[in-house]
Structures are given as structure tokens and as C-alpha cells.
Structure 1
Amino acid sequence: MADAVFLAIDWGTTNRRVYALDAAGAVVACERDDHGVLAIAREEFAAEVAGIRRRFGDLPVLCAGMVGSVRGWVEVPYLRCPADLGVLAGALHRVDARTAIVPGLSFVAEGRGDVMRGEEVQLLGSVVAGLAPRDALLCQPGTHCKWAWIEQARVERFSTTITGELFALLRGHSLLADFLTGAVADGAAFRAGVAASADATLLTRLFGVRADALLGLRARGDSAAYVSGLLIGSDVREQSLVPGQAVHVLADAHLGKLYAAAIDLAGGRAVAVDSEAAFVTGIAALWRMTNAPKS
């Protein structure tokens, strides 16, 4: 790949995305697979990167995500918020002369701590790409949903909710599991769940899902969408949005649509952001900051 100058790896817990980028930060080639950190033993990471170089070219590598966690290749210390791309660039962990890992971020307030790895590149990249303003509230849904408050193009603070994982646990291992086999989509059942979340009785409402189905108060097939609405609605309402507040949402189309509906119902205004473009822009900016020609 003659045009590529470096390889960027977004290395998550279960999935991995590899990008070959040119000097302008454009994607020359990409690859997605399920070789997340949980699928790789610590002593195998060097061989994995060597294999990526054989496929894409013998180029420098810049990694982000869970590859820098206690379960990853090297445990890279978190940087305390507030932090911007310049702070991240100055704290890259060098595995070797041609391979580096982006540190994650931490936030501590009122005795409560929070951490992220990988999301910081997308969040800050969205600002550099012009997909979000320099002062913004960003939402990154997923297994663990990140809410980040950006001020002057830096992550000032953030919080994480366990929304996606909780839904998966309820669907796979709870008393409700047999009732949560239906599809989840933005419709009447989902929106009823979002509306029900307003009374802050999540735990009671969750148990009631089974009772409602048994008593014929809700169609059994609507239970999954209703529970998703309860959880996502509770997640959104925790943020105490003011009327008309813009929330920039970095998510795939399906999950992004669900969060957008909940945000709009809570009085906010959802703005969709291309999360892949945000990551590519962010990682390319980090590359330029650390590989600029010396004057």
C-alpha cells in the first residue's frame, strides 16, 4: 500500500478495526475482525501486530483502546481529565520505536471515579473533524455508554453507564429472559418504556415487565423493546438535559436511532455523528502531532 504512512488500530474488548492511513489522514485500506483483546493472550500481541504489518505493509503502528488495559498488551496509565489531543499525544506509550499506544482517560469527582479507553480518540476526533463543536455534550452508546462534556476542545469530564451490558444480562440470564426475545426498534413499545422511565422507578418497572406480559397488559413480543426503552430512557434522564440541548451521538445506525428518540423525548436534540470518521480524524491528528518534521 504505497500511499499509506502508518497503521491505526482501534483495539476493543471484542472487536478490532485496522486502518491504513495516508499522510493526509485518508483511509487507504481497512479491516474489521473479532480479534479483540479478550481473544488474545498478552504474549501474542506482538505476533498479532506483526501479522497486521504483513497484510498492510511494514509501517509504524498507533493503537488505541483496550489494548492499553490491564487485560491488553501493556497496561498504560490513565491521564486525568481535563485532557485534549495534545495531552494524549504527549503521553503515548512506546512499546517499541515503531509501535505506540494511546493512553485512556480518568475522571474523579466527589469520591467517584470513571475511566475510558479508546473513546477519547473518537470524542476529540469528532471536534477536530468539525462533526461536533468545541463545547458540546457527546454521547457514545454501547455496552457501556459514555457521556462526555467537551469544553474548548478538551474532555472536561465524563460519566459511564452500564446500560447496554445490563440489557444483555437481563436478556440472557434474568427472570425476564424468556420474555425478552422480541425485536428492539424505535416504536410504540420502546417509547412507552422511555416515557415510563420518567418516574424513576426502574427496578419496580423491570419486575413488572414479566407481570404485565402474564396478565395480558402488554404483548409478550413487545417486552424487549419496552425494557430497552426503560434502560435507555433512564440513562438519558440521568443527564438532566435542558430543553433543546444538543447531544452529539456517536453510534451505529440502530443504537443511534434509539438514543436519538430517547433524547428527543427527554426534551433534548440529538445530532448524529459518524463515529468511524471521528476515530480516523482523531488518530490521524495524534499521528501528525507526534510525527511532525523537526524544524
Structure 2
Amino acid sequence: MVVSDAMRIGERFLAVDWGTTNRRVYLIEDGVVIRSERDDRGVKAVAAGAFPAEVATIRDSFGDLPMLLAGMVGSTIGWQVAPYVPAPAGMMDLACALSWVDERTAIVPGVSSVQGGRGDVMRGEEVQLLGAVAAGLAPPNALLAQPGTHCKWVSMEDGRIAGFTTAMTGELFAMLRGHSILAPQLGGSVSPGDAFREGVEHGKRRDLAADLFGVRAAAMLNLRDDADAASYVSGLLIGSDVAARLADSRHDAVHLLADPVLGALYTIAIEANGREAFAIDSHAAFVAGIVRIGAMS
């Protein structure tokens, strides 16, 4: 759809952070969140062709307002594909590449990166990353990390996304816990104790395949209590992820956009590698980013 002067988000609008399994809706007025709700209506919960009805329901609840959508709603499993903007990418690049579904509804594009012949993509995280810098939550030249199922490590330069790497750290842990030979040992909870820290230290060696089999051997030889196995494996995976990313980074600190529990685990690993970690409120970052994108549209 061609963008006309009439297609503007305005100062009072709805923003939706629409992920794979969850979504959060914000009612924003003059840059301030008036109301916010989170539910489990991620894109996987919406049938093909049902997105217009979902959007109508949101408007019925929050107000018949312009809407700016971000995240997996713009992917091949979402409502409408919003093509990737190549890195380096800044706020204006995203605002100029919005995919307009209709005159009052637009989807924020994702960002792509190709470094050393390896491609990478993100959707949704770009709003938080750029918003964190724009709001002064992180410096314009920094290393940012967004831990989760797929952990994003992002180099920001002059307030723009210069390049990034995605690590399947969280998904690997879930796969090991649910489907591997180690699954019977990984039923315990993960805590930031000695077993986790031991895993972080071993993760620095980045000999992940061998260290993972060592978890089974440790049980066979009574070298480690299985109650600690989940914490150890979590530390191993996070430690390997962190060590790999920081080995080539010139930054003395990592700015983390994460929930408090996962953020605490990554902080331990970052500090074990001799760097500082600073927590960022990811919701505040998203709001700051989406407000600025809306103002530029």
C-alpha cells in the first residue's frame, strides 16, 4: 500500500507487541501508556485469516484508534509480511518502511544482518533496542543483549543497530530438557547457585558437545547430584553463549533487556567473563521505541 499524508499514527494510538505465543497491547497518549494488557493471543493462537477480527476486537476494547503493530505479526506466520530492513538500521529506517495494512494500521518491519556470510534476522526486538537508546536507557554505542528462547546480541553504533547475532540458547535448553538423553536429569529448577556458576565456568571452554555428555557421565559416576543438573546445564549453555559473544567484543559492559530471573543468570555469566551488566526495563524500551516510530510515520 502506498503511504499518503493521511496515513499517520498520531499522538493517541494503540501499539501491539505481538509475539509468537503472547502479545501486549498498549493505549498510548502523548507518549504515555494509559492502559496495557497482556494475553496469550500470540500469532500461533490466531487462525489464518482471523487477524482482522483480532484487531477489531482490540479496538472494541481499547478504542477505535490508529494501530502500530510489531513482532511476529509481520512474519510469514503472522498477518502480513513486513520486509526486513537491512542493518545498519535506525528509527527512521523502520518508520519509512512500515507495512500499511490499511490507512490506520501499520506493521513495523524486522531487521536483517549479513556478517561474514552468515545471515541473521529479528522481529520485535528492534523496537526495544532502538527505544532503549532513544530513551537514554543505554548509550548510543553499546553491546545490548536480549536473553530468551533466541538470545539476541546486538552492536549499537550511533544509536543504530549495526549488527547482531542470534543464539538459540533458550531453545537448546528446552530441547535438552524435553527430548534428549539428559531429560530425566533436568527436571529440577534452575537457580543461580554453585552448580549454575560451575556450568558458566565450563561454558567458557566452549566445548559444549563434550560438556553436555559429561552431565550424563557425572550421574553414572556419582560426581554430581541430579538435583543440580538443570542449573549446571543452564549455566553451561548461558556461559558458552556469553563467552562466545564477549570474546570478540570491545565493550566493557552489556546492557540487558530481560526479565529479572533470566537477567540475573546472564549477569552472573557476564561478570564471570570480566564485564559489567546493566538491566534495562524492556517494556519501557518498547514504549519509547514505538512512540518514536509512530511520531515519524
Same-fold call, TM > 0.5? yes
User: For residue 49 of structure 2, what is the amino acid of its counterpart?
Assistant: E
Give the match for residue 13 of structure 1.
Answer: 20
The DSSP-based 3-state class of the residue aligned with 1:19 is strand
Moved more, 138-147 or 238-247: 238-247
Query: Structure 1 residue 107 and structure 2 residue 147: aligned?
Result: no
* C-alpha distance 243-94 of structure 1, shift in aligned 2 (>3 A): closer
The 5 Å alignment of 1:200-279 reads 200-241=206-247, 245-279=252-286
1:117 aligns with 2:123: yes
Q: In structure 2, what residue type is equivalent to 1:265?
A: A
TM-score under structure 1 length normalisation: 0.95
Whether 1:165 aligns to 2:171 is yes
Indicate the larger mover: 199-208 or 66-75: 199-208
Residue equivalent to 1:148: 154
Q: In structure 2, give the amino acid aligned to 1:7.
A: L
Change (3 A) 1:243 1:74: closer
Residues 142 and 251 in structure 2, CA contact (< 8 A), matched pair in contact too: no
User: Equivalents in 2 of 1:199, 1:172: separation in Å?
Assistant: 25
- Cα separation, 1, equivalents of 2:37 and 2:181: 39
Identity %: 59
Counting only pairs closer than 5 Å after superposition, residues 37-76 of structure 1 correspond to structure 2 as 37-76=43-82
Match of 1:293 in 2: none
- 2: CA distance between counterparts of 1:244 and 1:152? 14
CA distance in 2, matches of 1:214, 1:124: 48
Secondary structure of the residue aligned to 1:43 is coil
Is it true that 1:22 corresponds to 2:4 in the alignment?
A: no
1:232 maps to amino acid: I
**Residues 243 and 267 in structure 1, CA contact (< 8 A), matched pair in contact too:** no
One-letter amino acid of the counterpart of residue 263, structure 1: I
- Contact 1:243–1:268 (Cα < 8 Å) also in 2: no
Q: Secondary structure at the match of 1:247?
A: strand
Question: What displacement does 1:244 show?
Answer: 7.3
Structure 1 position 243, deviation (Å): 8.4
d(CA) in 2 for partners of 1:224, 1:216: 16
Report how far residue 222 of structure 1 moved: 0.1
How many Å separate the matches in 2 of 1:42 and 1:61? Answer: 20
For residues 205 and 287 of structure 2, what CA distance do their matches in structure 1 show?
Answer: 40
The CA distance in 1 between the partners of 2:158 and 2:102, in whole Å, is 33
Which structure 2 residue ranges, 5 or more long, are not aligned?
A: 1-10
Say yes or no: does 1:129 pair with 2:140: no
TM superposition outliers: structure 1 runs of 4+ over 3 Å = 241-244
Q: Offset at 1:200?
A: 2.1
* Corresponding residue pairs, total: 286
Secondary structure in structure 2 of the residue aligned to 1:239:
helix
- 1:253 & 1:21 partners in 2: Cα distance? 25
Change in 2 beyond 3 A, CA 1:108/1:262: same
CA deviation vs aligned residue, 1:119-164 (integer Å, no higher than 9, x gap): 0000000001110001000000000000000000000000100000
Superposition CA RMSD, Å: 1.1
3-state SS of paired residue (2:245): coil
Distance of 2:14 and 2:250 partners within structure 1: 42
Asked if residue 90 in structure 1 is aligned to residue 96 in structure 2, the reply is yes
